[in-house]
Amino acid sequence: MRRATLIAALLALAGPVSAQGTVEDLTARLRAVLPAEVADRVIATVTEARSRRLPARALEQRALMLARKGTEPGSIARSVAEQSRAMGEARAALARGRAGRPADDDVAAGAEAIRQGVAGADVSELAKSAPSGRSLAVPLFVIGSLVDRGLPSDAALASVLERMNARATDAELARVPEQAVAARARAESARAARAGARPAPPAAGGRGAAGGTARGSPPANVPPTAGGRGRPSGRGRP
């Protein structure tokens, strides 16, 4: 998922996955926007996910979102299948870290994070270490966003856990990725400024302070020649 899609997904968490439309409504919409063969593949994936008690509604909504964006139909079917597999992995990882059945929103967010490159072990660690009873959906989306921006999975987890333990709200956590980008930009600017302030290295053939002369000037103990230059070095002789 690209960054803009990730932000949209964060905003979508304002309402639970399970509360948006009936099964029949969403299935009819899928058939209306997808070619028949692709719609059948997507619906089969969704039905299988529902039988495994995965958040199948999120898969339907993903297919509809990609269709609205004009994604190639075959790619939509593949994306939904990949998301379903990631959901299974995310649910297992969450269950290893926290007792009870993981919430659908947490599973959907965990799947996105895993597809972004977050390690399953780090998903489990978040579930284990986060404050009891707190939803993990936004923290998981934020960890995934940080990994997408180049931060290692374990470092992204540590950054989010530190803020959660400091009682950061979901809204505050959602700003972490942009804050990380701004901090990186400031660091790069500082490095560039330091590099620009360094003295230029002496030009080839010149002498440093130890030589006591500037380029083209003779040493103090060598009288200038008639041409005003120092003693010939011997280079360039025929």
pLDDT of 203 reads: 60
**Both tokens assigned to 9:** 């997904």
Q: What's the token pair of residue 102?
A: 């993981």
- Each residue's pLDDT tens digit in the chain (238 positions)? 444 444 445 444 434 444 456 777 788 999 999 999 999 999 999 999 999 999 999 999 999 999 999 999 999 999 999 999 999 999 999 999 999 999 999 999 999 999 999 999 999 999 999 988 899 999 999 999 999 999 999 999 999 999 999 999 999 999 998 887 777 777 777 878 788 776 666 665 544 444 444 444 444 454 544 444 444 444 444 4
For the four alpha carbons of 94, 5, 185 and 116, in that order, the dihedral sign comes to positive
Measure the CA–CA gap between 142 and 109, rounded to whole angstroms: 9
How many angstroms separate the first and last alpha carbons of the chain?
69
pTM of the model: 0.69
- Decide if 137 contacts 165 (C-beta within 8 A): no
* Residue 13 buriedness (CB in 10 A; 0-12 / 13-18 / 19+): middle
Helices (H), 13-152: 23-33, 36-51, 56-68, 73-97, 104-116, 120-129, 137-148
State the DSSP string of 12-47. Answer: HTTS-GGGSS-HHHHHHHHHHHS-HHHHHHHHHHHH
Q: Is 110 exposed, middle or buried (0-12, 13-18, 19+ CB in 10 A)?
A: buried
pLDDT at 44: 96
